[in-house]
């Protein structure tokens, strides 16, 4: 027998300046922003591509990134550069289009991190964090090469579920105030071979509601939520719904994945049999995992409140803006509550919402910032989480340069840096 081996455990002894856990858009922007400040950055991602929900999760399109009425852009910086470059490489049909081709987005994100000098480890899942006196001293990552222990001066939690903070023992909130329930999970999927000229979403919803009323459709969602995808004859579906108690409970999530696939099949039969334009449709893809709209929210030094969003407050320590309003898919079943912002308005995201209490060298990027259940329903969309990510990356670098904890970062200076790079605060 030639070439017989046993595994030699891999080691990465180097202590990075910044370790970003999670390569969704928030993590990518955070990594690039920290590297742009001259830091050595390691980005770990459990899948084999970057983009998180925007790619692997088949979430589409980007939601509102500009004011209602004026149309003024509120999400800019790296996010806007990404849209422009995506257009230039044929990934969308206009420079600031919110519709995009996710396969091209994956490639663009690879290029962006490579250009910035970020080291990426794919197929690497963070599964443990060691914390001493408020400092995360190391993390364990399950990789294709086995378990790796990794170290960094500052860590950015961009996992969406606040895995890093939770594994380190930091406190978090889950779900709405009254019963702890989170927004439902949804498996996104796509139909090809759709006759778009004849497909009408309102007509589909009318037929769907009739069958639901007769008990012939079991999906608790109230209507058919679909979007014309960026490829001809392809319809994007965001219409399944699993109400689970805890989207970070492995048993519950496993059950939800199977339930949601059954709902997808139900929708396939429904569409083919009852909806004009869908007679010959085919299921071509579903996301690698069911999407989680809401899970752990860290307890931060500051919190994005419901009133911040609905009252379009401009906070002094703002590091990002949002123009997307309240959007709560019913955590308990059927129905969706939506409340737009007033015209020509935006709210702001306070820096302190990114900084977990009782911690020194960790910051959160993306949807798990400190917020109320209602505020999260607004701030979770991808243009905003991208901008939060960029701010987190700059703040991480500033904490290293100033030799301070994340809570002590000079926020006016951080704001200057963000705007200096073309962001809006």
Q: Which residues contribute to the site for ligand FAD (CB under 6 A)?
A: 21-27, 44-47, 52-54, 59, 61-63, 125-126, 158-161, 163, 186, 188, 238, 291-293, 366-367, 380-382, 385
Nearer to ligand FAD, 274 or 371 (CB): 371
The rounded distance, in Å, linking the Cα atoms of 250 and 290 is 12
User: Could you tell me the two tokens for 227?
Assistant: 């979007």
Nearer to ligand FAD, 165 or 275 (CB): 165
Q: Closest distance between ligand FAD and the C-beta of residue 42, in Å?
A: 12
Q: What is the residue whose two structure tokens read 């009782």?
A: 358
Using CA atoms, how far residue 345 sits from 101, 194, 199, 319, in Å, is: 29, 37, 34, 16
Q: Closest distance between ligand FAD and the C-beta of residue 57, in Å?
A: 6
User: Could you tell me the two tokens for 39?
Assistant: 């830091």
Mark residue 3 as left, alpha or beta (left: phi above 0; alpha: psi -120 to 50; beta: remaining): left
Q: Closest distance between ligand FAD and the C-beta of residue 5, in Å?
A: 27
- By CB neighbour count within 10 A (0-12 exposed, 13-18 middle, 19+ buried), where does 207 fall? middle
Nearer to ligand FAD, 38 or 338 (CB): 338
DSSP 169-225: T--EEES-TTT-PPPPEE--EEEES--TTT--HHHHHHHHHHHHHTT------SS--
From 148, 101, 155, 86, select the one nearest 122 (Cα to Cα): 148
Q: Closest distance between ligand FAD and the C-beta of residue 203, in Å?
A: 22
Nearer to ligand FAD, 79 or 199 (CB): 79
Q: Closest distance between ligand FAD and the C-beta of residue 58, in Å?
A: 9
Q: Closest distance between ligand FAD and the C-beta of residue 29, in Å?
A: 8
Nearer to ligand FAD, 159 or 226 (CB): 159
Nearer to ligand FAD, 205 or 385 (CB): 385
From 275, 273, 247, select the one nearest 180 (Cα to Cα): 247
Nearer to ligand FAD, 24 or 352 (CB): 24
Nearer to ligand FAD, 143 or 305 (CB): 143
Q: Closest distance between ligand FAD and the C-beta of residue 346, in Å?
A: 15
Q: Angle at which helices 382-402 and 25-36 pack, to 10 degrees? A: 30
Q: Closest distance between ligand FAD and the C-beta of residue 2, in Å?
A: 36
- By CB neighbour count within 10 A (0-12 exposed, 13-18 middle, 19+ buried), where does 282 fall? exposed
The rounded distance, in Å, linking the Cα atoms of 168 and 161 is 13
Q: Angle at which helices 78-88 and 102-116 pack, to 10 degrees? A: 120
Start-to-end Cα distance in the chain: 64
Helices (H) and strands (E) in the chain, counts: 10, 19
């Amino acid at each position: 027998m030639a070439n017989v081996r046993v595994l030699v455990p891999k080691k990465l002894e180097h202590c990075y300046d910044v370790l970003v856990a999670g390569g969704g858009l928030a993590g990518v922007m955070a990594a690039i922003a920290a590297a742009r400040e001259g830091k050595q950055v390691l980005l770990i991602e459990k899948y084999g591509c970057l983009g998180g929900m925007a790619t692997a999760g088949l979430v589409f399109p980007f939601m509102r990134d500009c004011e209602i009425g004026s149309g003024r852009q509120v999400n800019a910086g790296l996010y806007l550069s990404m849209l422009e470059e995506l257009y230039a490489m044929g990934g969308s049909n206009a420079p600031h289009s919110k519709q995009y081709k996710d396969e091209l987005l994956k490639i663009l994100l690879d290029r962006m991190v490579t250009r910035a000098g970020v080291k990426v480890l794919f197929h690497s899942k963070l599964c443990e964090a060691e914390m001493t006196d408020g400092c995360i001293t190391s993390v364990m990552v399950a990789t294709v090469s086995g378990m790796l222990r990794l170290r960094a001066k500052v860590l950015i939690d961009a996992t969406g579920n606040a895995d890093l903070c939770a594994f380190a023992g930091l406190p978090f909130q889950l779900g709405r105030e009254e019963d702890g329930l989170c927004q439902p999970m949804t498996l996104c999927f796509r139909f090809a071979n759709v006759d778009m000229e004849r497909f009408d979403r309102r007509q589909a919803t009318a037929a769907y509601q009739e069958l639901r009323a007769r008990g012939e459709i079991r999906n608790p969602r109230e209507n058919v939520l679909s979007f014309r995808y960026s490829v001809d004859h392809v319809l994007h579906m965001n219409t399944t719904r699993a109400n689970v108690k805890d989207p970070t409970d492995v048993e519950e999530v496993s059950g939800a994945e199977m339930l949601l696939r059954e709902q997808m099949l139900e929708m396939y039969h429904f569409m083919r049999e009852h909806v004009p334009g869908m007679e010959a449709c085919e299921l071509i893809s579903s996301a690698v995992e069911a999407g989680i709209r809401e899970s752990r929210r860290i307890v931060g030094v500051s919190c994005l409140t419901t009133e911040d969003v609905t009252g379009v407050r401009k906070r002094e320590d703002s590091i990002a803006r949002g123009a997307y309003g309240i959007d709560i898919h019913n955590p308990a079943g059927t129905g969706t509550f939506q409340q737009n912002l007033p015209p020509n308005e935006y709210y702001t995201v306070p820096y302190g919402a990114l900084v977990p209490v009782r911690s020194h060298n960790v910051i959160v990027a993306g949807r798990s910032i400190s917020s109320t259940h209602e505020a999260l329903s607004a701030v979770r969309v991808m243009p905003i989480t991208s901008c939060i990510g960029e701010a987190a990356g700059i703040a991480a670098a500033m904490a290293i340069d100033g030799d301070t904890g994340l809570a002590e970062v000079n926020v006016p200076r951080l704001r200057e840096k963000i705007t200096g790079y073309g962001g809006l605060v």
